[in-house]
Amino acid sequence: MSGIAMPQPDAGILARLPQIVAALRDVLPEDAVIWDPEETRAYECDALTAYRCPPLAVVLPRTTEEVAAAMRICHEMRVPVVPRGAGTSLAGGALPTADSVIIATLRLREVLEIDTQNRFIRVQTGVTNLSVSAELEPHGFFYAPDPSSQLACTIAGNIAMNSGGAHCLKYGVTTNNLMGATVVLPSGEVVELGGPEMGPTGLDLMGLLCGSEGQLGIVTEATLRILPRPEGARPVLIGFDGAEVAGECVARIIRSGVLPVAIEYMDDVCLRAVEAFAHAGYPDCAAVLIVEVEGSPAEIDHQIARIREIAGALNPVEFRESRNADEAMAIWKGRKSAFGAMGRLGDYICLDGTVPVGQLPYTLKMIGELSRQHGLEVANVFHAGDGNMHPLILFNANKPGDLERAEAFGNDILRLCVDVGGCLTGEHGVGIEKRDLMGKQYDGPDLEIQMAVKDVFDPRWLLNPAKVFPLDASQPWREEAATR
């Protein structure tokens, strides 16, 4: 473990492992409870692999009722619960503590209902993001949020983290596409929020739950808004000889009223890595934008003409239009392999700060300066249209002190995002990674209110411990909760 503190495991709980397992096995199928340390090790981390800790046990339910039964046992026995989807969190959102039981949604894999007339799909939340769209394809529909991890990540995790993706510029993030949720509360009670109609009545608990990072409950079933597939989509690639002018182009496109589905940004470090890895034929320049538009052929032509005009005024070094599906795929090929390509350069941390689009040029410049100060290379590849930056900080995990330097650099970048009017996270969540920066984002009563709301849902503070809220700020809440 590195710089981020975790609470000491509760020795009392560790000693009660046999009773806890027995109680869980009493209410769950034989194969749904894992406690052999050889097997629980598979759950010791998520995609923030710098942090690892095997849990006490892992529960793999298949139904809402089984999730509720497991939650009830943990609540009664006062055992912390770490909810887990596919474990693709880049922020340590599913990192266990040694005294916790993981409740995973992986086996909740049924598609329950597809209703194209009312435009929704209802699924168990262990279904992966990509398979939701795959289910919809024969009907001519799709589900909009598309995180990079969409092949693996589950709807449960998407809801917990309010996930976005390249297409959220046009279609919004998970909260804009979630219509209803079946939620198991920490007590084991089950509550139905929302449904296939327009808005909530009274307080918007579903909106509150979306993005709550497993602090309030576990969503076992979800009703998701689906969209008809557009007639077509076409990307253009625009190369610039400077980061600032590329940032300016993004701001002008947004300002013009053209609403692309995606505006992706790659800087020179990323471009070189991608070229070496995927041979995508990208230009050798300071920054590349991929802008994708969709609609009917006429709409696409019209939008691309506008983008050509806007970009043209900024002297791009290249403006490459895709004329067919192969050329479109070639343009996307490099971007889609960017994270893999970066992995070949060494270890990296992937950040997730968000800034107002107009602040992109300044923020990119300052990240370059911070890179020089910290002596670590950084690559920028991100969803530029909504200002959601993903700086990748390169470091060497085998070099003592390098991870800590990378984390310090990352913290400086996130503070910068807040300083220019942005926030700590766009789509990855706070998790443990950004937990202790929450004080930078919030002053005044905001964080206290958030913790009081957590207290309403989870009065014993058992759900997803040591995440989201700074340990010191949440200490009094956890102490009080321990008396309940």
Q: Which residues from 352-391 bind a copy of itself, rule CB under 8 A?
A: 354-359, 386-388
Residue 60 CB, shortest distance to a copy of itself, in Å, is: 26
**354 secondary structure, DSSP code:** B
DSSP 429-451: --TTTTGGGHHHH--TTHHHHHH
Handedness of CA 251, 253, 258, 261 (dihedral sign): negative
Whether 333 contacts 280, CB under 8 Å: yes
CA distance 199 to 201: 7
Torsion angle, CA of 314/319/325/326, rounded to 10 degrees? -140
Closest of 85, 41, 81, 87 to residue 465, by C-alpha: 81
Residue 106 CB, shortest distance to a copy of itself, in Å, is: 25
Determine the Cα angle at 10 with ends 108 and 220, to 5°: 15
Residue with tokens 């209410």: 27
Determine, following the binding rule CB under 8 A, whether residue 315 of this chain makes contact with a copy of itself: no
Determine, following the binding rule CB under 8 A, whether residue 99 of this chain makes contact with a copy of itself: no
Binding to a copy of itself in span 104-163, by CB under 8 A: 115-119, 140, 162
* Helix (H/G/I), strand (E/B), else coil: 118: coil
- Alpha carbon separation from 29 to 22, 37, 267 (Å, rounded): 12, 19, 51
Decide whether 267 or 294 has the Cβ nearer to a copy of itself: 294
Determine, following the binding rule CB under 8 A, whether residue 421 of this chain makes contact with a copy of itself: yes
CA distance 105 to 127: 9
Determine, following the binding rule CB under 8 A, whether residue 299 of this chain makes contact with a copy of itself: yes
Decide whether 124 or 359 has the Cβ nearer to a copy of itself: 359
CA distance 39 to 37: 5
Choose, by CB under 8 A, the member of 9, 27, 77, 172 that binds a copy of itself.
172
CA distance 264 to 128: 23
CA distance 80 to 480: 15
Amino acid present at 75: H
Residue 166 CB, shortest distance to a copy of itself, in Å, is: 14
**165 secondary structure, DSSP code:** B
Stretch that binds a copy of itself, among 52-60, 316-324, 339-347, 452-460 (CB under 8 A): 452-460
Choose, by CB under 8 A, the member of 25, 78, 302, 333 that binds a copy of itself.
302
Determine, following the binding rule CB under 8 A, whether residue 100 of this chain makes contact with a copy of itself: no
Decide whether 54 or 186 has the Cβ nearer to a copy of itself: 186
Binding to a copy of itself in span 218-247, by CB under 8 A: 227-230
Determine, following the binding rule CB under 8 A, whether residue 452 of this chain makes contact with a copy of itself: yes
Binding to a copy of itself in span 325-344, by CB under 8 A: none
Residue 243 CB, shortest distance to a copy of itself, in Å, is: 17
Determine the Cα angle at 94 with ends 31 and 376, to 5°: 140
Determine, following the binding rule CB under 8 A, whether residue 449 of this chain makes contact with a copy of itself: yes
Binding mask 30-59 for a copy of itself (x = CB under 8 A): ------------------------------
Stretch that binds a copy of itself, among 105-113, 130-138, 209-217, 391-399 (CB under 8 A): 209-217
Decide whether 109 or 302 has the Cβ nearer to a copy of itself: 302
Amino acid present at 204: D
Decide whether 89 or 175 has the Cβ nearer to a copy of itself: 175
- Alpha carbon separation from 171 to 5, 145, 247, 373 (Å, rounded): 37, 7, 21, 38
Choose, by CB under 8 A, the member of 9, 200, 232, 346 that binds a copy of itself.
200
Decide whether 37 or 439 has the Cβ nearer to a copy of itself: 439
- Interface size with a copy of itself, residues (CB under 8 A): 87
